[in-house]
Amino acid sequence: MFRRNGVDFLVAMAIFALCLGVYSATLTPSLSYVSPDGNELATVCYTLGLAHSTGYPLYTWLGKLFTLLPIGDVAHRVNLMSATLGAAGVALLYVVLRLLTSELRHRAVSRAASAFAALLFGFSRTFWSQATIAEVYAPNVFMLALTLVLLLWWARVEERERRDRPAGQTGWRRFLPSPRSTLLLLAFGLCFGLSLGTHMSDLGFAPAFALFALLVSPWTAISPLGGGVAVGGFLLGLLQFLWLPLRAHTLLDAPMRAHAPTTLRGIYNYTLGAFPQFKFAFPLTALPDRVVVYLYFLVQQFGFVGLLLGIGGMWLLLFRRPRRFFLLVGMYLVHIWFFIQYRAFDLDVFFIPAHLIYALFIGYAVGWGVDRLAGLRWRAARWALVGLVGLALTLGLVKEVRANWAVNDRSTDTAINDFYENVFDLLPEGAVLLNRGGVFGYDLFHFRLVYGVRPDVLIPALEPGLSPEAASGREVYSVVPPAELGGRRNPWSPPSGWVSPEAWAVPVLIGNTVAQGSNRPLVLYRLTDEPPTLVVTDPRPEHRVEKQLGGLTLVGYDLEEEVVEAGGALHLTLYWRSEGPPGRLQVGTALGGTLLEVHPPGMGNLERYMETFHPPRGGVLVEDYRVVIPRLTEPGDLPLEVVVATGTGLEEPQAVERVVLQEITVLEPGAGR
């Protein structure tokens, strides 16, 4: 295909450049909570540690190479790997489609349909979301697409050589594939084996690959120089999993350490035997509902028109290219059969390989349909119809990009970095900082393991053997909700024994979780046996307001600074009067119209305080805290507002009322130093 001209190469490169440009424009700048595993993956790529099951050796090694780039911080570079390999995977998907539609009469139609389907997948909602963060799914698409290119290329070579083989060739010569065929099978097997280092579920495609090889050339498939070479390449790719016992000592996740891959049995449990509680987790009676869930995800990617086109593409492949049909449908059915019975809260991302295959069906249907139109006898009608179809497809892509851009644009998500930079500035010398363990703790671990920040601060989750006695004489802080420090514990809860069950968790710093769309709070708590002074009878705010907001009256406020750098924090004290219990009201802080944070009155301590101390009626509630200003806030004078809102949680609520306190001057990061 590429030997005749370089047009396909140029088209593939254009697709790569376009996708990389879009992914880069929406790329997460650093750490994020979009994926539960992303912060861990960004860290282990740099430290060459061992990720959670199934280990992901190839992903780790590729990520290490990207961490050497002089661009942004370490997490940004690993995010960039997803964007780069995701874009390369979309370009390879174009090549797969060209190999699939090579029998069409009009080469230009084949190219156009292939480019359309590749971009349709590349800008689909779920895949795009994974191409902007540190995750395994975009690199896995690259490996899967490369594996398919090599397999289909081998089939093309094998079919041509069989067609051109001299008549009457029999006997042992049937078992001798050409050197070119052998090399392609070796590359295919190696690539397939390596792909398991980006996602173990790729192993489920093996039956479809074997069936396809037997259908294309049974003699080559069973010969030592054919199938034997492919199996050898596959086993060579599996050698990457020897990495697991070598790096098992780097595991920080307690459940993973308990089943560390230091033996053959341990390696199996860490890879193929991982997460048994999630596999086939639903009874057969639930399968219709699970199919509906999958169809919802499918329509979310390609729409109802795409769903129908994919069905048409399968039908056409069955009669026009039956070997390819059994390959792709076999891959597709095995994948969705496994994952519709898989229990996971982020289930949508597991169907990305199935979406890739479905895009191939769509591309084939579009190519066949446009090819028929291009073959019409009446020239004017032919080009008019082709033009209309081309316009419709182009507008469909534009609509898809516009719809998914806002959902997947993470280019301003600096919440984690902004928060922890302020945390490390606030923590006193020798403090103890409690946080979650395992994959959920890497939002903090990253700064210590990658940058060595504040070595004086004790992080017990990083040192499992550390005794709580080490906290003697040290101030203790936490970045997990108080409930996880007490009774509601899980395998990733902070180590126990480091704080008294009766300790008060006093919020001192709140990160910017609302504007970034995260459902995970960023709050630094000071843990102390001394209760906070939540209610006073003689408030003396620096600035008087006396403004009623919902069921509360804002008496006044104190503000420590009126000039702040973007990425810094404002120290704010609010004084509230209430005639009764605040109920479900929420208090928020906004800057320049952007809601920064939302919290319950009293910062979660009010109910306990009232039950313990029974303050007098008419007392004034005092909230003293710091709130982080996002690093990407535009410099200038911006209004600081307090909002009283309805609803619960950290999602942006419906505001009841708001009041402007004063203007704050925001400087560029580093301008005040």
Question: Cis ω on the peptide bond leading into residue 250 (within 30° of 0)?
Answer: no
Is the pLDDT at 638 greater than 70, yes or no?
yes
pLDDT at 105: 85
Residue 526's DSSP bridge partners are 477, 506
Which candidate, 503, 427, 506, 419, places its Cα nearest to that of 459? 427
**Mean of all residue pLDDT scores within the chain:** 90
Instruction: Please name the amino acid found at residue 601.
Output: P
d(CA 597, CA 623): 14
Burial level of 283, CB count in 10 A (0-12/13-18/19+)? Answer: exposed
Is the pLDDT at 337 greater than 70, yes or no?
yes
The pLDDT of 423-429, averaged and rounded, is 96
pLDDT at 466: 84
pLDDT at 4: 60
Is the pLDDT at 324 greater than 70, yes or no?
yes
Are residues 151 and 360 in contact, defined by beta-carbon separation less than 8 angstroms?
A: no
The pLDDT of 491-505, averaged and rounded, is 84
pLDDT at 615: 85
Two tokens, residue 651: 């999602």
Residue 573's DSSP bridge partners are 558, 624
Taking each helix axis from N to C terminus, what angle separates 74-100 and 352-374, rounded to the nearest 10 degrees? 40
* 376 against 476, higher pLDDT: 476
pLDDT at 655: 58
Strand 586-591 relative to strand 594-599: parallel, antiparallel, unpaired? antiparallel
pLDDT at 162: 78
Burial level of 621, CB count in 10 A (0-12/13-18/19+)? Answer: buried
Q: SS3 of 537, please?
A: coil
pLDDT tens for 348-402 read: 999 999 999 999 999 999 999 888 887 766 666 667 777 888 888 888 899 999 9
Is the pLDDT at 571 greater than 60, yes or no?
yes
The model's confidence at residue 650, banded by pLDDT at 50, 70 and 90, is: very low
Two tokens, residue 586: 């929420």
How many of the other CB atoms lie within 10 Å of CB of 380? 8
Q: SS3 of 430, please?
A: coil
Is the pLDDT at 85 greater than 50, yes or no?
yes
Residue whose token pair is 């805290």:
625
Alpha helices in 409-525 (DSSP H): 415-426, 442-451, 482-485
Residue whose token pair is 């480091």:
498
Which candidate, 358, 335, 57, places its Cα nearest to that of 209? 335
pLDDT tens for 5-15 read: 689 999 999 99
pLDDT at 492: 78
Which helix (H) or strand (E) segment is 35 a member of?
none
Share of the chain above pLDDT 70, in %: 92
Of 48-57, 188-197, 539-548, 581-590, give the lowest mean pLDDT range.
Answer: 581-590
The pLDDT of 260-271, averaged and rounded, is 92
Of 48-52, 172-176, 182-186, 463-467, give the lowest mean pLDDT range.
Answer: 172-176
Q: How far is CA 56 from the centre of its chain?
A: 15
Number of residues assigned to the chain: 673
Two tokens, residue 280: 């086939």
Written in H, E and C, the secondary structure of 404-417 is: HHHHHCCCCCCHHH
pLDDT tens for 600-616 read: 898 888 888 888 888 88
pLDDT at 234: 98
Domains and CATH numbers, the chain: 7-162+173-408 (no CATH), 415-528 (no CATH), 535-667 (2.60.40.10)
CB-side exposure of 426: number of CA atoms within 13 Å? 27
pLDDT at 582: 65
pLDDT at 649: 46
The model's confidence at residue 512, banded by pLDDT at 50, 70 and 90, is: confident
Of 166-180, 328-342, 440-454, give the lowest mean pLDDT range.
Answer: 166-180
Is the pLDDT at 24 greater than 80, yes or no?
yes
Which helix (H) or strand (E) segment is 555 a member of?
strand 552-559
Two tokens, residue 134: 């540190």
The pLDDT of 555-567, averaged and rounded, is 94
